[in-house]
Amino acid sequence: EQQYMINDVIRVGDIAGQVERITLRMTVLRDLEGRVHFIPHGQINTVTNMTHGWSRAVFEVGIAYKEEVDRVIDVLHDLGRDLR
């Protein structure tokens, strides 16, 4: 039924992650912390596919305490515009 494919980001119950592998018996997800979850197909009731038509990226940016907050925000906005 093509509900999800390899590399899609899905949520199954409380577990969300990128689909790494689909076998006859299970789906393998990797979450944002790098943990691997093996989900038997018999335990999957509802799947939310978060990949279709929407995406986001999460960045951790270290900023020195001495930096001006307004300047940092401006630089991040400029970077965001450049990445689009």
- 55 contacts 41 by C-beta, under 8 angstroms: no
Query: Domains of the chain: which residue ranges?
Result: 9-83
Provide the token pair at 68: 């001006």
Rounded distance between C-alpha atoms, residue 60 and residue 56, angstroms: 13
pLDDT of residue 83: 79
Q: Which residue is listed with tokens 């979450």? A: 31
Rounded distance between C-alpha atoms, residue 13 and residue 48, angstroms: 9
The CATH fold of domain 9-83: SH3 type barrels. (2.30.30)
Per-residue model confidence as pLDDT tens digits over 22-57: 999 999 999 999 999 999 999 999 999 988 766 677
pLDDT of residue 54: 67
Provide the token pair at 72: 């940092």
Averaged confidence pLDDT in the chain: 91
Per-residue pLDDT at 17 exceeds 70: yes
